[in-house]
């Protein structure tokens, strides 16, 4: 207690000060005679993962025990705690754990000691990842300041490289992982506790209460007497068996009587009417033989293997089979034609690329030929007859235009004898046309002949460059030949630029490296690939037979 008035006055001022920290205030206040129990803070740790709501995280990086946890609990509720013990009891270890815990919470920790060696030992106890965060003054003034400055610069350098957003995400991920680990530890603790309860609980067995250990000893000692009994014994509340020796004897006799049919116990035998007929079985047998033959042909190399067994590859296989069958139809149609110029045309197309101006012009011409041929068929069906060459007579065309407009054919009743003669030779379904609509059909014939003449001329202009035959005649005769050749040229173009251009890439998608044989074997390989793909599709369809057999076996 203070002895002079000045000390008493200063002590009273300190007691009355309201700005002093509570820990400093407690040093100068009078002690309290009443023992006050403060609530204990729960921490989650290796032994307390299931600490309940309100529990805080315990950040001890090194092994610990309940006494170390109680130190942090006391520090959480009080201004200080005294820890004492003889050398070697783990005080430095405990202090290192406590320092790590408060550093993890973002707090600052000051550690002092009488000797420099004690602080050096403590610093060495800190985990390596935490040690750089400690600033030590453990030497003389000059060395201590140099170490102090180096530690400050190291911490500042590390802080400057921290990205807050990335650090926050890392902390959140670590917190989530920590929660998961605590949940797993809690589950393991509960499982261990459940096993412990079962092994510590006492059971009523053979008329007395026994421990699980005693029950296990009885089972082991009497194993030779009961090893013949392999069935699972039903559970009984009073530990007595629900059968006696007479029941066992009756069961043995029943087993002998049933014999091998005991296998069917618990199974429902199928209705004989549901079993397949001999015709169905014969069909299944045939399908299995086909599947086996396909498997054998794949194994010995007579069937080209698919690049893999995925559903995507099988879908491409089905599409490729349709592609090859369409190509075969077109190729067969071309092979059945006896045009002497076919070979030269196909060779010429093989040297052209899709954007070749000659090829583009030919494609445009073929489209016009198709359209004009449809018009020709329509006019032939209407039985419109116009004299050959009449479209070249200007007076005749003028007369037709006047008739289409609903006027008389000629302005004067005389003159233009040739045009009048041609007009009398025009007929529609065997009769003289009448009315603007019927004369309009005659006008369409004249316009069609003009277009046909131009088309034939353009065809003949491409004959030499595209290896095409010369069209005979300049109008209808020549156009009929061009219209007949159109489908042949379109098929040849389709083979070259639709099928053969995509053939190798699509074969390689499904058959892998085997597709390279296309360059050396040509059409023979295409035929072989088509047959192999058909076998793979047939094999997948035959899998239905295998499923039926599995159902029958069940």
Written as six digits, the tokens of 480 are 């009929």
Q: How far apart are CA 133 and CA 508, in angstroms?
A: 62
- Give the residue-averaged pLDDT of 254-271: 83
Phi, psi of 385 (to 5 degrees): -115, 125
pLDDT tens per residue across span 448-460? 888 988 999 998 8
Greater confidence (231 vs 101) lies with: 101
Angle in degrees, 0-180, between the axes of helices 91-104 and 66-77, rounded to the nearest 10: 50
pLDDT tens per residue across span 506-541? 999 988 988 898 888 888 888 888 888 888 877 776
Phi, psi of 79 (to 5 degrees): -80, -15
When pLDDT is cut at 50, 70 and 90, the band that residue 245 belongs to is confident
pTM of the model: 0.45
Position 430 pLDDT exceeds 80: yes
Position 418 pLDDT exceeds 70: yes
- The three state secondary structure string of 146-195 is HHHHHHHHHHHHHHHCCCHHHHHHHHHHHHHHHHHHHHHHHHHHHHHHHH
Q: How far apart are CA 58 and CA 68, in angstroms?
A: 11
Contacting residues for 369 by C-beta, under 8 A, at least 6 apart: 455, 459, 479, 482, 483, 486
The rounded percent of the chain whose pLDDT value lies above 90 is 4
When pLDDT is cut at 50, 70 and 90, the band that residue 371 belongs to is very high
Written as six digits, the tokens of 252 are 């043995």
Three-point CA angle 170, 171, 176, nearest 5°: 100
Written as six digits, the tokens of 550 are 């599995």
What CA dihedral angle connects 100, 101, 103 and 105, to 10 degrees? 160
| β-strands 43-44, 56-57 pairing | parallel
Distances from the Cα of 307 to the Cα of 313, 400, 513, angstroms: 7, 69, 8
Contact 284, 478 (CB under 8 A): no
When pLDDT is cut at 50, 70 and 90, the band that residue 128 belongs to is confident
Phi, psi of 106 (to 5 degrees): 85, 15
Q: How far apart are CA 417 and CA 423, in angstroms?
A: 10
Burial class of 313 by CB neighbour count within 10 A (0 to 12, 13 to 18, 19+): middle
Written as six digits, the tokens of 478 are 């020549």
Q: Can you tell me whether residue 286 is helix, strand or coil?
A: helix
Helix spans in 467-522 (H) = 476-494, 500-511, 518-521
Written as six digits, the tokens of 181 are 């680990």
Q: How far apart are CA 58 and CA 48, in angstroms?
A: 10
Position 82 pLDDT exceeds 70: yes
Q: Give pLDDT, residue 367.
A: 92
């Amino acid at each position: 207690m203070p002895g002079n008035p000045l000390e008493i006055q200063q002590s009273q001022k300190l007691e009355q000060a309201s700005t002093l920290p509570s820990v400093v205030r407690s040093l100068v206040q009078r002690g309290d005679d009443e023992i006050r129990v403060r609530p204990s803070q729960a921490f989650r740790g290796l032994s307390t993962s299931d600490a309940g709501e309100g529990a805080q995280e315990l950040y001890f990086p090194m092994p610990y025990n309940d006494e170390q946890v109680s130190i942090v609990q006391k520090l959480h509720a009080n201004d200080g705690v005294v820890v004492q013990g003889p050398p070697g009891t783990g005080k430095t270890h405990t202090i290192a754990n406590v320092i790590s815990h408060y550093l993890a919470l973002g707090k600052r920790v000051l550690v002092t000691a009488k000797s420099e060696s004690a602080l050096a030992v403590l610093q060495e106890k800190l985990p390596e990842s935490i040690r750089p965060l400690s600033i030590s003054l453990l030497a003389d003034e000059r060395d201590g300041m140099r170490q102090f400055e180096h530690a400050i610069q190291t911490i500042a350098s590390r802080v400057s490289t921290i990205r807050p957003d990335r650090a926050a995400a890392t902390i959140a991920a670590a917190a989530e992982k920590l929660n998961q680990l605590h949940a797993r530890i809690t589950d393991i603790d509960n499982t261990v506790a459940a096993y412990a309860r079962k092994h510590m609980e006492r059971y009523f067995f053979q008329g007395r209460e026994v421990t699980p250990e005693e029950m296990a000893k009885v089972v082991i000692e009497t194993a030779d007497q009961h090893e013949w009994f392999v069935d699972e014994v039903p559970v009984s509340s009073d530990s007595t068996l629900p059968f006696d020796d007479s029941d066992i004897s009756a069961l043995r006799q029943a087993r002998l009587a049933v014999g091998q049919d005991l296998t069917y116990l618990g199974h429902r035998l199928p209705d004989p009417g549901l079993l397949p007929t001999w015709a169905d079985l014969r069909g299944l047998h045939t399908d299995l033989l086909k599947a086996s033959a396909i498997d054998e042909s794949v194994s010995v190399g007579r069937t080209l293997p698919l690049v893999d067994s995925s559903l995507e590859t099988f879908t491409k296989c089905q599409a490729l089979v349709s592609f090859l069958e369409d190509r075969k139809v077109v190729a067969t149609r071309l092979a059945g034609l006896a045009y002497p110029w076919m070979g030269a045309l196909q060779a010429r197309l093989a040297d052209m690329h899709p954007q070749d101006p000659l090829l583009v012009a030919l494609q445009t011409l073929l489209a016009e030929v198709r359209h004009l041929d449809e018009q020709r068929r329509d006019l032939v069906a209407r039985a419109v007859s116009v004299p050959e060459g009449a479209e070249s007579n200007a007076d005749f065309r003028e007369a037709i235009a006047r008739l289409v407009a609903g006027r008389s054919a000629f302005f004067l009743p005389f003159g233009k004898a040739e045009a009048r003669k041609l007009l009398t030779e025009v007929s529609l379904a065997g009769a003289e046309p009448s009315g603007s609509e019927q004369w309009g059909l005659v006008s369409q014939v004249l316009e069609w002949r003009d277009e046909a003449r131009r088309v034939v001329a353009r065809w003949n202009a491409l004959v030499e460059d595209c290896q095409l035959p010369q069209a005979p005649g300049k109008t209808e005769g020549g156009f009929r030949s061009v219209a007949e050749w159109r489908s042949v040229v379109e098929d040849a173009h389709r083979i070259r630029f639709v099928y053969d251009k995509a053939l190798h890439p699509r074969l390689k998608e499904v058959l892998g490296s085997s597709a390279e044989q296309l360059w050396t074997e040509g059409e023979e390989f295409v035929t072989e690939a088509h047959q192999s793909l058909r076998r793979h599709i047939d094999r997948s369809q035959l899998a239905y037979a295998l499923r039926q057999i599995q159902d029958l076996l069940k």
